[in-house]
Amino acid sequence: QLQLQESGPGLVKPSETLSLTCTVSGGSISSSGYYWGWIRQPPGKGLEWIGNIYYSGSTYFNPSLKSRVTISVDTSKNQFSLKLSSVTAADTAVYYCARLVATIWFVPWGQGILVTVSS
């Protein structure tokens, strides 16, 4: 059964770069036809799509975050990563990674990781 697990620091200082990794188990990140995505959820608020990556490195980003987001993939480790630069308190959220099926819907999701931006 495919599982995803987010990892990284739970606390980031303002103006610094948030870095998270999603480890995929139970399947290959290089499986043809699947994108891999990042979604976030500020406390008490809704879901916001951040961006997607294909195992070849092709990426798509939310226009509202595009200037600050980098998503990369490491097929040898079966992982993909998120970097969000110049963070502020508004970037405090639970960050989820997920597989994108048929280029349309996200399943399964990781359990999520809370990242707090604070000095």
Partner 1 sequence: NFMLTQPHSVSESPGKTVSISCTGSSGSIASNYVQWYQQRPGTAPITVIFEDNQRPSGVPDRFSGSVDSSSNSASLTISGLKTEDEADYYCQSYDGSNLWVFGGGTKLTVL
Candidates 60, 50, 52, 55; CA nearest to 18 is 50
Q: Which is nearer to partner 1, 16 or 70 (CB)?
A: 70
Using CB under 8 A as the binding rule, whether residue 111 contacts partner 1 is answered as yes
Taking CB under 8 A as the rule, does residue 38 contact partner 1?
A: no
Which is nearer to partner 1, 3 or 31 (by Cβ)? 3
Decide the pairing of beta strands 93-101 and 79-84.
Answer: unpaired
Work out how close the CB of 33 gets to partner 1 at its nearest, in angstroms, rounded to a whole number.
Answer: 15
Q: What are the Cα distances from residue 5, in Å, to 14, 33, 96, 107?
A: 25, 21, 9, 13
Does 52 interact with partner 1 (rule: CB under 8 A)?
Answer: yes
CB of 46 to partner 1, least distance (A): 4
